[in-house]
Structure 1
Amino acid sequence: MEKRLPLLLSLLFSFSILASSQESTKPGCPSKCGNLSVPYPFGIGSRSGCSIGPWYDIICDQPRVFLLTPVFSYSGSFDGTNDNASLVEVVDISSNHVRIKNTISSTCYNPSGESTHFNTAGVVVATCFTLSQLNKLFLVGCDDFAIISPLSDIDQKKFSSGCVSLCSKAQDIIAGSCTGIGCCETSLPKGLTTYVSVTNSFNNHTNISSFSKCGYSFLGEENTFKFRGASDLSDPGFLERTLESVPVVLDWVIGSRSCDEYKNTSDYYCQNNSFCVDSDSGNGGYRCSCNSGYQGNPYLSPGCQDIDECADPNNNPCIGICSNFPGHFNCSCPDGYIGDGRKDGSRCTIRNSKSPALKISLGMGFGFLSILAGITWLYLSHKKRKDLTQHPWANQSSNEDGMSLMDKSKQPDLYDGSSKTSFNIFGQYSSDQILSLMNLEN
């Protein structure tokens, strides 16, 4: 029975995780499309009622997943001959981000400097989405510059930003570095819902065509792109590899107003044991998050549930006794042990007389007693000497040679061990006092 108990606890924990994932979607709605989990407020199906609203509808075309319009990606040329707008493919949905597949602007030339390929790239998203600050604009090339701008009719902002990358030899390019030699990068301001990037060349790659025929620019999640150096400039698979591995990150929110404006209205969705977080994009909107120590979907009733940290025998945070409480837990040590009981803390150690603290305490105690005993002995010795100096003999005067002027006949026989006087003297005084008496002249 004891061997079955850990297995039973593990199964119960697994069931609780399963129940938690099932509660991440509305009842009767699918939770996954292919390998992608789709938590509420998103929902699978166009106007299926599984999402919080049409802008959060997910189209499942297995194994691919798409966001509905008005979210789309764009590629084309300035003359309008190759313009193409398409639904954006979703690769991940989290509690505050949606990651979508990239689109890349590129320009290529033959050794004579004639253009063989040119296209722009961009994304347009709905007002509940904005381009995340986790993104950066990257340019890969050695004779190129990239320019990125928002669509002013939509974002109501007019500006351009970009960066330049130059190099004359492949040997000068440093892998892993986007500092302007083979690769450069730049950031975008907050709150944009659109962008268009353009890649162009200074000299049509005529001086570097032996190792670089193309230049590429794209917006993408900063920590997912790793510049591999000169090999990226000559790799025919660079475009496909980047499209697959470097997503564009979108921040998502509920609505377009702040938490305080939505509270006590039917458009406020934060459930029990959760709190509201205002968007920092500048475009308004809010998100809900579970309180510390709770998990679940904060948008669906009954809200976030307490995390029982003690329930999983494999991930129990305590080395000692684990006690679960709503929103938190506590570790303690059993009787006879000391410590905080945490695996990541001081753990639990047996309490015994060999412990350093006890040794120090005992040493200090014995030291204090030794000092006290020494002071007492000195005090008593001093007192006895004082008593001796007050004896009648001690007041007798002596001559210059130290000879006692006291009549010898009146001195008691100190060496007569049989006499009462001798017995009384030796019984009355200490050894030091007796030696002092014996040094008196006869």
Structure 2
Amino acid sequence: MSNSEFRILVLLVFLTMQASGAAAGLARPNCVETCGNVNIPFPFGIGAECFLDPWYEIVCQNGSVPILYKIGLQVLNISLPSYYYPSVDGMISVSLPLISSNASCWDEGLGGPVNFEGSQFIFSQRWNVFTSIGCNTLATVNSTESVVVGCRSKCAGNSTNISKYNACSGRDGCCQTTLPDNLRGFRVDFKEEGGPQGCKYAFLADRSRFLRSNETGLYDLSLNDTVPVVLEWGISNKTDYELKLIQQAYGSGYLDPFRCSRYSLYGLSTSQMPFIQCYCNGGYGGNPYLTEGCQDINECEDRDLCPGICVNKRGTYDCVAGRKTPIIIGVGAALGALVLCLVLCMLYKYVKKRREIKLKEKHFKRNGGLLLKSELSSPEGNVEKSKLFNSKDLEKATDNFNDDRILGQGGQGTVYKGMLTDGKIVAIKKSKVIDEGKVEQFINEVLILSQINHRNVVKLLGCCLETEVPLLVYEFIPNGTLYQYLHDPNQEFHVSWDTRLRIATEIAGALFYLHSAASIPIYHRDIKSTNILLDEKYRAKVADFGTSKSVSLDQTHVTTLVQGTFGYLDPEYFQSSQFTDKSDVYSFGVVLAELLTGQKPISSLREQEGRSLATYFIISMEENRLFDIVDAQILKEGKKEEIASVANLAKRCLNLNGRKRPTMKEVAMELEGIRKLQNPSVILQNQENHEATESYNAAFPSNKSNIDMDVITFSDVQRLLPSESW
């Protein structure tokens, strides 16, 4: 049984228990506890004074159909977070209508956008999947937070049967993709490719439905016009009720009735949720959101809750072993029993230590450690700058990954600030689970990035593979992002024209270095001001290679998944799904426009046609209004000829035709030329640096040209922001 099937089985078992088990004590006193076969636990409720706020109000339609009143969706199930089933966070399952490309495609009409903004609900990333059905279609999910994901489906013929599918891989008219983190609202856009091909359908749905609907394995669209969707829910920390609840729960130990957390209870995940969830501790049951809602239970009555040893303590049976964190308690008062406990304790420590060693070896092999080790020892690999870190050293460096050390979090992992034994400050990224089928690609990506040696690229120092998920170690960049200094009104540091021109030149040099690698060029694919970090001397550092691709010189990269950031995404790439070095040039052009205007890449304050900074900038240039949109401070400090030269370069980078854009080499040389004309001392400064203009012609030291680099990817790294405290 695969991991995904096991998780779905756990979910089904738990939801069945929730639906069939007794619901006593889960609702507020004197409130209705069920509607049909659905339990209604507080903070949800039916009737006045029975729910926390209007988002949690349930209306029992016809006495048996629960409706989430504020958004008008039918409720299929509600679950509370569980200590005993950590794979099931607080969830509510609702019915959403199918979304069609045309109102005539479905009797019920066109499904509209879905928006939970202002609520404490998010679409579950791990339980839901986005599916598009229809021939030759690009379907994109556009969220309310400017995040876009999507997939492309193709058909061999001109039509397909859209009722049932055995598989959904992008062919035969069906494709699927995962959702971004903390998605609260979305709309779906369809784009036909190759001419109209009939009706198109898309939906978010509970992935477990695809494993249990029928023998073929997928959902039957001909029988339903709605699909079940899983929402994760919690409570806010901004009202008196929630703050009081948090005060009672935070800091409590494992023997206290309940706990609250901002982090998912699922497995070893440390992803932060936009709300808090509370659960009754081991040995307790009930509803943690009610006063004294968690009551002591007899775990020994259910062997699923207590697979270990049951002990009678003063007339009350309790579970000693088998919990998530075993607690060793002395059983007996006699000296012989005490000696036995000491012997068992020593044996336990020995077994635990042996188990940890075996587990590290297993993780090391699964994460590609043997492959990386062979490359490190190979004289032809030329990867001496890579380093394998010890897990103990990294745990010590981060104070056992203390929450106070968190620098930032992303969809694929969490970044911590740490200090190595030699006193070096580093940023340590704890990835989420890696796809075992792409281990070789992951290791190859680590080897490539560890060889990048450019002063304007964040350095990957090495990795640790003996943990359950890989740990990546980067140099620490202390002064935040370029976006903060350009757009944060609280920033007191003024970015002068000289500084902006220098930063632009440094970014261009770094991208030219990546694009011009002799054996394995790298396309960054997500250049934006939030991915440009500033070091202690405010020098630019290109970061976040999470969506980067290493591509052989005789290949182009085509993908069925469209990913990127609104405002920076190359329109030509969005249309063709073919990413080239000129796509990075377009994104760099947007950053240049930001540096010139001081405006954000996407802004609702500009007129409709100018919400995109790229469009607004090009229109202003064509209407000879450049100096009307340039940052007023720049006009005071810079010469108009220099500003116009940089603006014309930005305009060329933003050309809708990728072939007409300059290469990063041309961009870097042109910016360097502007700086030299502005300040001849720049030549001397460059000569003092170990990577001056000559670095533009440098190539990667790797000679591993025989490795297949078509689609090598590793998980994205959240920007390395400085922490306020250790």
1:286: how far off?
A: 1.0
Alignment match, 1:188:
179
Task: Call closer, same or farther: CA 1:242–1:322 in 2, change over 3 Å.
Answer: farther
Structure 2 counterparts to residues 120-139 of structure 1, below 5 A: 120-125=111-116, 126-133=118-125, 134-139=127-132
Alignment match, 1:107:
101
Residue 298 of structure 1 pairs with residue 288 of structure 2: yes
Distance 1:146 1:92 in 2: 29
Residue 43 of structure 1 pairs with residue 25 of structure 2: no
Alignment match, 1:119:
110
1:162: how far off?
A: 1.0
Structure 2 counterparts to residues 1-150 of structure 1, below 5 A: 21-45=23-47, 48-62=48-62, 63-69=64-70, 72=71, 87-95=72-80, 96-107=90-101, 119-125=110-116, 126-133=118-125, 134-150=127-143
Task: Call closer, same or farther: CA 1:194–1:204 in 2, change over 3 Å.
Answer: same
Given that 1:254 and 1:285 are in contact with CA atoms closer than 8 Å, whether structure 2 keeps it comes out as yes
SS of aligned partner of 1:168 = coil
Distance 1:32 1:288 in 2: 21
1:168: how far off?
A: 1.6
Alignment match, 2:147:
159
1:136: how far off?
A: 1.9
1:269: how far off?
A: 6.9
SS of aligned partner of 2:224 = helix
1:309: how far off?
A: 3.1
Aligned residues: 274
1:289: how far off?
A: 0.4
Given that 1:135 and 1:222 are in contact with CA atoms closer than 8 Å, whether structure 2 keeps it comes out as yes
Task: Call closer, same or farther: CA 1:262–1:215 in 2, change over 3 Å.
Answer: closer
Distance 2:168 2:21 in 1: 45
The one-letter code of the counterpart of 2:258 is S
Given that 2:300 and 2:310 are in contact with CA atoms closer than 8 Å, whether structure 1 keeps it comes out as no
Distance 1:171 1:60 in 2: 40
1:237-278 deviations in Å (ceiling 9; x for gaps): 6154362xx31221111114699x966x36757596011121
1:159-200 deviations in Å (ceiling 9; x for gaps): 322111102248999953221013211122212211111334
Distance 1:141 1:52 in 2: 42
1:315-356 deviations in Å (ceiling 9; x for gaps): 896899864756525799xxxxxxxxxxxxxxxxxxxxxxxx
The one-letter code of the counterpart of 1:132 is S
Q: Aligned match of 1:252 in 233, 240, 249?
A: 233
Alignment match, 1:309:
299
Normalized per residue, which structure has more strand?
Answer: 1
Q: Aligned match of 1:199 in 190, 197, 214?
A: 190
Structure 2 counterparts to residues 414-425 of structure 1, below 5 A: none
Q: Aligned match of 2:258 in 274, 284, 298?
A: 274
SS of aligned partner of 1:89 = strand
Q: Which runs of 5+ in 1 are unaligned?
A: 1-17, 73-86, 110-114, 152-156, 207-212, 333-442
Given that 1:103 and 1:122 are in contact with CA atoms closer than 8 Å, whether structure 2 keeps it comes out as no
Distance 1:20 1:120 in 2: 36
SS of aligned partner of 1:185 = strand
Shifted more, 193-202 versus 265-274: the winner is 265-274
1:60: how far off?
A: 1.4
- C-alpha RMSD over aligned residues: 4.3
Task: Call closer, same or farther: CA 1:316–1:34 in 2, change over 3 Å.
Answer: closer
- Tell me the TM-score normalized by structure 1: 0.52
Distance 1:158 1:255 in 2: 23
- Tell me the TM-score normalized by structure 2: 0.33
The one-letter code of the counterpart of 2:94 is I
Q: Aligned match of 1:168 in 137, 142, 156?
A: 156
The one-letter code of the counterpart of 1:67 is L
1:64: how far off?
A: 2.0
Identity of aligned residues (%): 29
Alignment match, 1:381:
none
SS of aligned partner of 1:225 = helix
Normalized per residue, which structure has more helix?
Answer: 2
1:349-385 deviations in Å (ceiling 9; x for gaps): xxxxxxxxxxxxxxxxxxxxxxxxxxxxxxxxxxxxx
Alignment match, 1:179:
169
SS of aligned partner of 2:261 = strand
The one-letter code of the counterpart of 2:178 is S
Task: Call closer, same or farther: CA 1:120–1:136 in 2, change over 3 Å.
Answer: same
SS of aligned partner of 1:26 = coil
Structure 2 counterparts to residues 331-350 of structure 1, below 5 A: none
1:130-167 deviations in Å (ceiling 9; x for gaps): 2221222111223222111123xxxxx22322111102
1:297: how far off?
A: 1.1
1:225: how far off?
A: 2.6
Distance 1:164 1:269 in 2: 49
Alignment match, 1:422:
none
SS of aligned partner of 2:23 = helix
Given that 2:280 and 2:286 are in contact with CA atoms closer than 8 Å, whether structure 1 keeps it comes out as yes
Alignment match, 1:358:
none
1:27: how far off?
A: 1.1
The one-letter code of the counterpart of 1:292 is G
Alignment match, 1:423:
none
Distance 1:140 1:19 in 2: 38
SS of aligned partner of 1:277 = strand
Distance 1:29 1:122 in 2: 33
1:74-123 deviations in Å (ceiling 9; x for gaps): xxxxxxxxxxxxx12211111111111022112369xxxxx866835331
Distance 2:282 2:245 in 1: 25
Given that 2:235 and 2:275 are in contact with CA atoms closer than 8 Å, whether structure 1 keeps it comes out as yes
SS of aligned partner of 1:301 = coil
Distance 2:304 2:193 in 1: 58
Residue 220 of structure 1 pairs with residue 205 of structure 2: yes
The one-letter code of the counterpart of 1:159 is V
Distance 1:139 1:303 in 2: 43
Given that 1:130 and 1:191 are in contact with CA atoms closer than 8 Å, whether structure 2 keeps it comes out as yes
Distance 1:252 1:216 in 2: 27
Task: Call closer, same or farther: CA 1:223–1:310 in 2, change over 3 Å.
Answer: closer
SS of aligned partner of 1:247 = strand
